[in-house]
Structures are given as C-alpha cells and as structure tokens.
Structure 1
Amino acid sequence: MVADQIEKLQKMLMGSGKRDDATEGERVFVAIDGPSGTGKSALVAKVALSRKVQMHFDGGVLWVTMGAAAQLAEIANCLRPALQAVSDGSETQPHTLSQTCTAMRAALGPRNCLVIADDLRNTEQLRAIWRCIPTSSTGSRFVLVARSGELLQDFLTREARISRPIQRLSMKLVQAQGQSRKAVGMLRRAATLSVGCSTTEAELHALATQTGEVPLAIYQVGRVLGSLLESPNYTTEADHVDVIRVVQAALANAASTSSSSSSPVPLKDGRPEEERRRAAEVFRCAALTLKECLSPHDRAKYLALGALAPPGVILPVHVAAVLWRQDLDRCRLLLLALEQLVLVKYDPAQD
C-alpha cells in the first residue's frame, strides 16, 4: 500500500472538495479489484478508519463481507448487520433478500454513510448491493471490492448501466507478494500439522523433504514474516492476529517437542507425535536457513540473541525474519504480542 493509493481512494470517496462534486449521484460507488493478497481490503480499511473519512461520513462506516455466500438467504444474512447499524429498530425485521435491500435503501436515503462491500464473488452479490443503493442523490458511498475486475466492469456497464467513466482502482500483485502468499500457505499447513489437525502425509513430505541443499519450500517458510512486512496486506490488527496465531502454534510445538521420546505419542486426533516432530523440524530448518542468508553483522546479532535461549531450542522464526529485513520499527507490535510465548525476550530499548 502506498500513499498515493490512499489519497486517490479518499478523493474518490469524498470528491475533490467542492460541495457539488461530493454530492453527485454518479459518485455513489468506487470499484476496487485485484488478485488475492494485493491489499484491497487493507487499503479500504486504512482509508475508512482515517479521521478525515470518518468525519466526512457522519452517518457511519458499514462493512459487509460477502465471501463465499452464494444463496440469496446467505447474502441477506451478510447485509443485515449493516442494516441494523443504520436502523432505529422500529422497522419490521426483514426476512427475504428483497426486503433487506429495500430496508437498507430506505435507511441509507437520508444518511451520509460509507458502505464497503468486500470480497464480492458473483453477480448475485453485486445485484444485492446495487439494490441497496438509494436511487436519489445521496452523500453515501459504496465501495465494491472484488478479485475480478471483469465482474465489476461487466455488471456496472451492462446491468447498472453506468454511463460515466467508472471510478476504479486495480491492485496488482508484485513478485514479493506472490512469494509471501505461497510462503503463508506453507506456514499455515505446517502449523496446522504441528497442532495435530488434519493434514496429509503427502503434504508434510512435500513440505519437509524438498530436494536441494536449501529446499525452496523451507526457504520460503523461513522468509514468510519478513516478506509480510513489505506486503500491503500486512497492515491491520486482524493480519497481525492471523500471523501471530500461526506462529504461536509453530513455536509452541517446536519448543515443546522432545527428540528423546522413545515411542510415538498419539495426539487428540490420533496422529502420532512423530508427525508433530517433523512439522516442528520445518520451522527449525527455516530459522537455520535464514541464519545462513544473513550478513556477517546480522549473523552475529542473531547468534547473540540465540545464546539467550536454552540449548537445542531454535531461535524463533519471527526474530530471524526481523533481522533478515532490518525493519524493527514495523515489527514491534508483532514481537511484543508474541513475547509471552517466545524464548528470546524482545526489548525495544536494545534496538
């Protein structure tokens, strides 16, 4: 995410500053598209949570996530929380999608709201959102977020019949983000395995036994947090929580795995302890791989931190990633949140 994208989206939502420009009927929506992981939701959240935007939309900011909802009833269920936020409670509770859209349109009519429809996946979801938009001029704005720009373009020109140029932001996936997404998937699979959940032996084998002196899969798992630090989608509290949850599981199990176990110990789901140990090894290799990639100066700092940990315990992967990227400022929240689980304490005063 870059500053010019934030500024551009703010102008799209609020106009150029002229009063008539900010209330034109054709400026009621903004379309944002791009592949998964390009930071679409993070960009919208950054703008929507800014004081400037919140003061402009004094009717409130409503967030609707459609996702996999495909049936009409599911779409209605996605819309109802937003309707309740702008409703005074006097209306009869809507039951159908049509009733929900009608009620939403009536409630938004006199208001000045920002409504974000995130993760739109099909035409039915777009139709539902469009039916919620008041037909008269209004200060409210609708942000339509989807992976497919063609889906948005086709709907807005053919069904919504928007004649003016569509206000649209197209996010692109850069190479670093693509590597980050792949590494996140690997990290999640390994962490899932390490806590004893359902993961196939084939997935474990593919992850932990790649050919080559420095297996590509292991290398990317080790780089995941460093890559995330540069990714636009690593900006919100939810993203931190998601990464923390995965890394906590991996670190906790890697630290608690004992190589002296004489026999496999079944986990709750019946999977042997040996598989858990193998999953922990993935993260151990990741940390060691990172150490080899560090500069001599960074490696000395890495080893100094590692000396604080008990013998035989890996340096937490997230610490290695911080040293890899040399970006401590952007990592403080993550490191402090992990402090209760990691074996090396993080002290900002030592930076």
Structure 2
Amino acid sequence: MSNKKIISTTSGISFEQQEGQTILDASIEAASPINHSCRSGRCGFCKVKVLSGETLAYRQEELSPQEIKDNYILTCARTAQSNIKIDAGNLSKITLPKSLTFPCGIAALTLLSNNVLKVTLRLPLIVRLDYLPGQYIDITSPNNICRSYSLATAKVNEQTIEIHIRKIEEGVMSNYWFNQAKVNDLLTLQGPKGTFFLRDDIVQQDIYFLATGTGIAPINALLETLEYLPESELPHSITVIWGGRKVEDFYLDLIKKFSNRALKINIIYTLSATPLNQLSTTTLTQYKETPYTQGYVQKVLLRLQPNLAKSRVYACGSTLMINAAQKLLIEKGLDEKHFLADAFVNSAS
C-alpha cells in the first residue's frame, strides 16, 4: 500500500508527497515550489489555506488564532495525512537550483558605509553555484554561527559572489563580520535557498520593488536580471522605492549605476525618521539631484497612484515593513498573489 499523498492546488498543479516529507519539500521536489524563505516556521511566507484533507504539524507555526481558525498552515512545518487541496497562490512549474554545501573563503571586505559591509566570497574552482537572482544563502562562520544573506548580484563573477551586511549592535554574527573577519577566512556556504525571484508574469506590468536597509541587495540582483531580458519580456514600468531612517542608510548609488543604461528605472529614496527640513546643508545640495521623499515605502508607492490591477510588488527588508506593506496594498486592491517578499529573519544578529 502506497504512503504517497496527492496534493492538489487551486492553480491546477498537483504533486505527490512521500511519507515523512513536508508539504513544502514535496512541492520543491515536484518543481512547483510554494513560496518560502526561512523553512523553519517563522517567516510565514509558505502559508497556504487547506481547502480539504488532513495535515499534521511537525513543529510550532507562527500563525494568528484567526489564521488557524481559517485553516491556514505553514507548509514547511506540516505533512499531509491524506490527499489534500490547498490554495497556495499562483504556482508555476520551475526547477529551483540545487542547494549545495561547501567551503568558501573571504576574498574581500569593503565598507560601503559606516554600518554596511560588502563581503566578497570566493568559491572553490570545482563548485558551480547556480542561483536565481533574489535567492539567499546561509553562511556559517569559523566560530560556528550561521546566518542568512541575500545574494547582491545577478551572476557569479569569476567564482565570487557578493553579500551586504548591516552592523547590528551586540549582534554575535555582526561582531564577527565587523571586528574579527579577515581576508582568506574559511566559511561554510549552503544554498541557494528561497523563492524570491522574478516570475514570468511581469511582461507589460508595472513592477514595484520595495526595500529597507540591506534589502536593497537582492533588489539590485533583480534589476541586473532585468537588464539581460529582451525588450519583449520587459515590464511596462520599473520603480524602486528604498526606505531608510537617515540619508546615510542609502549606501548604494542606484541612480548613478542605472542612469546610463538602456533600462529605464524610477528610483526613489524615502526617509522614514528624518524630516527633509532637518537635512544638513550638504545633504540638501545632494537632495536637489536625488529624489528623496518622506514616508514609509508602501505609502510612497500609493502616492504614485499605481494601477494595482496591473502591478507586481517585490519587497525585501524588515518583517515590520513586509507585513505593513502587504496588508495595506492588498486592502487597496493588489492581488495577494502578486505580492512577493523576503523578510530578514535571522540575518540581523
């Protein structure tokens, strides 16, 4: 007697789950990955609604009482006990690059600002790391601390990859990066992971990228990806809204980087904590040439009066921003299937 369970979805895709598998792992194995990030029951991105059938929890799920009442589950934390049907959003067939574990070395450490460090990692010559721009990796330090970081560029460049790390006071891993790490340190890399990458439904749509802090790193990788696409596959418009508490938080000059390229991108820097009238004279001079504005990223997006029926939103940053943006934009008419996000879960410390 077979112990396989059939998982059907409202998007018309079905796949098998082996005994002992999580629903999420079964979807990945079947090349129909449910959206996910942390895979530990905390970020909530693999949440789906069970329409029929029974499931069993492997671990505690970060769900509200109302979500539990409405039959939502986290697929990374559950296995199907019977054939089930779920609403998992608009699933498509895509084979995720295989996650690998291997040693890597620090090739360079470069301060991008007082509190953001660019780490260039050197990969072994025998390793070919394939990833979808926007995905993340896990890095384990020499003192055996593991954290997750998004890849900041679209491609592996001469066997090196790039991650951006924000300094966190009293953060254990942050202390390693900013006070102990040195070139040629040997680390362990596992990845790629996650489902934060461009979907194939962006053609002739208005694309909005929302970022806070180093959430701009995977957004940068996605923008580089768009540069490689033929004109027939490009969105109708591309807008980046990057939020920070102070001007110094904007550690990349995206406007300069993309200003002389064929890809037309509207880039907006928005301050959430520092009023524009409190900027220094030096900053005000820069402000005349840089589109600084005031407010949270999701509210700045709405001030642009978007046609949410033709919009796709990709957001990366703090969990607070992700949750607030998703709630507000869906309330205003964005289809929840068209909001894709990756929140910082364990990379801060």
TM range (shorter): under 0.3
Return the TM-score normalized by structure 2: 0.26
Going by fraction, where is strand more abundant, 1 or 2?
2
Greater relative CO, 1 or 2 (CA 8 Å, sep 6+): 1
Return the TM-score normalized by structure 1: 0.26
Going by fraction, where is helix more abundant, 1 or 2?
1
Computing the radius of gyration over CA atoms, which structure comes out larger, 1 or 2? 1
